[in-house]
Copies of this chain bind each other. A is one copy, B any other.
């Protein structure tokens, strides 16, 4: 089976590593000459909205999928003329726009914070009246890793905030008083079967995911699975999806979904019976899903801006290197490290050693 991927970054790269043993072959559409997935398949060097390249990709593969959600609806519609595309257009339409996302959560009875659609500075002021302060103003589309966001604590922060974010459609979200952040990675097959991985407990640094620890028998597991299943079934979603939550006093509050393999699920490569990458590919290829059960105790730490050498990492026992072969740049995810141990105690110790290494760079 030939798989086309829109985007050739690290997620595409890890999809190819997971799919190659299944006999799959990969083609990546990416405008960057140094796209790091290109080492593992054919690289179509072109823009994501280039009909010529989209057609060339679609006509040379059996199925198309995405590495990121910021894909124009027209791209999906265009591709669908030629080849099955997963996840579907509706899933991407919802997931790439924070307003659509929040409205879907509300519709499905999944708790969300107060929010207001903001299309102007005046609209922002009306939104603040409804949502209250503090709040966070976020661009509705194209935001990631804390980009396209501004925290509003006082009325002084509100002034000019809409233009600071570029005079684009925004969403104002009420602050959530949460004790921690968790995510569930869920996968839905073509036949509708849904499987979820154990919740990951996530810690961010400067708005970027720093650490995910796979939980064991988390008390909110079944609630998260229920919410994820509602979304997946409503969207008739096919593939892997990441769903981020805030843990609040009375359960979970939805933060956002990502219609793709997700950074907080990278621990599954070593830490689960079948990884989120392989399960995404199994789903879109119409294959039976793999087990989402854990192997031992796992965590994942991102390498942001700088990549330690394999020598440095592997001196810490129980670690596994995932170097994306990307140029180092402040704030850029250039790799991650997974840790898999026989006990929770040992995992904590190893994670602390990796954190020390990352801080020393």
Contacts and interface: CB of A to CB of B under 8 A. Distances in A.
Interface of A: 13, 17, 20-23, 25, 39-41, 273-274, 282, 285-288, 290-291, 295-296, 307, 310-311, 314-315, 317-318, 320-323, 325, 335, 340
Given A17-B17, A296-B295, A310 B23 contact: yes
Given A20-B40, A273-B340, 7 more contacts: A20-B39, A21-B323, A22-B310, A23-B307, A25-B325, A285-B310, A286-B311
Contact of A310 (B25, B287, B320): B287
In order of increasing CB-CB distance, the 9 nearest A-B pairs are: A23-B323, A288-B314, A21-B322, A22-B321, A22-B310, A287-B314, A23-B325, A287-B310, A295-B295
A340 B290 CA distance: 12
Contacts of A317: 291
How many copies make up the complex?
Answer: 2
Contacts of A320: 21, 274
A149 to B, nearest CB: 31
B291 A315 contact: no
A290 B321 CA distance: 11
A105 to B, nearest CB: 33
9 contacts: A21-B321, A23-B307, A23-B310, A23-B321, A273-B318, A287-B310, A288-B311, A288-B314, A291-B317
B287 A22 contact: no
Nearest to A311: B287
A315 B288 contact: yes
A347 B296 CA distance: 19
Given A41-B39, A310-B285, A22 B291 contact: no
Contacts of A322: 21
Nearest to A317: B291
A194 to B, nearest CB: 17
A176 to B, nearest CB: 35
A150 B85 CA distance: 55
A271 to B, nearest CB: 11
Contacts of A315: 288
Nearest to A26: B39
A290 B314 contact: yes
Nearest to A13: B20
Nearest to A336: B21
A194 B291 CA distance: 34
A42 B153 CA distance: 54
A311 B273 CA distance: 18
Contacts of A287: 310-311, 314
A318 B291 contact: yes
A310 B22 CA distance: 7
Contacts of A286: 311
A314 B323 CA distance: 29
